[in-house]
Amino acid sequence: MTVVGEALGALQRMGGEVLRQRISGDAELPSSDLVSRADLGLFGPKSTVWRVHGDAAMLIGGIRSLLFQSLHPLAMAGVDQHSNYREDPWGRLNRTGRFVGATTFGSTAAAQHQIDMVKRVHRRVRGVDSKGRPYSAGDPHLLNWVHVIETDSFLEAFNRYGQGKLTDAEKDSYVEEMAEVALRLGAEGVPRSVKELTDCIEAFRPEMEVTAAAHQTVRFLFAPPDLPLLGRIPYGVLFGAAAASLPGYAQRMLRLPVLPLVEPLAVRPAALLLTRGLGWFMAGSERSGILEDRLHT
């Protein structure tokens, strides 16, 4: 290997570890809980879920999901009244990263452990919103809302900014596979195809509402506190891509400043460049090597 090659390899590993620590932090799944040849977890390396969730476009999908999910007043009330995302945004990101990582790349037992932990937390998240309407995080209907928006967001982000394109059959496969986690969490009416996913989101339209908590969430996501100076421009690209990928009605309801020609001419090229770069760093992380070793030994 040349000196240049060694330097690039070191840079890739260093960048991959920094990125992994920012996303997972102390909440990272132990290496022993990752999939292996003996236990491929809920999906396995040949699944569409692995392909989508292993792509850096997931970062865009995550922001899009949080923006979109804020449009359900009862789901938003639960977040507003019970979450500490304002005081500890990186901790919230770490815990979310651990859940997605465990259910995607973890052993069957590790995935179920994370699901059971979330279900226990959900039992404590209940109350009434500003209009006196009761809510419960364990409500199968609200669980389905969170699930369909998350699934739609990860799929839309990958289709726009991910590495390669999914066929229609692969898109249906992704929705079908993702249903497994939602059902284990207790959701009902879970879609099994892209058409069912689209129909389900459309059926939620009458329930969508912009609340003060939703606007606070948008402002928070637009300019997260404690964001390092060097991360502001890349994050701005991720946020812009997430906002541009939302349905038009969601953009209007949340008052997002999305201009028609900006996404194809500026946001998309920048987002593609950024996700490719982040993907290169992620491929060089120690965790990526451990996962590959466990599947081949």
pLDDT of residue 10: 47
pLDDT of residue 39: 94
**H or E element in which residue 182 lies:** helix 168-185
* DSSP string across 40-88: -TTT-TTSHHHHHHTSTTHHHHHHHHHHHHTTSHHHHHHHHHH--TTT-
pLDDT of residue 294: 84
Q: Which of 224, 222, 233 is nearest to 267 (CA)?
A: 233
pLDDT string in tens for the chain (297-residue length): 575 455 544 444 544 454 455 555 555 678 888 999 999 999 999 999 999 999 999 999 999 999 999 999 999 999 999 987 777 766 677 788 889 999 999 999 999 999 999 999 999 999 999 999 999 999 999 999 999 999 999 999 999 999 999 999 999 999 999 999 999 999 999 999 999 999 999 999 999 999 999 999 999 999 888 777 878 888 999 999 999 999 999 999 999 988 776 777 789 999 999 999 888 766 756 567 777 878 876
Tokens of 168: 């229609």
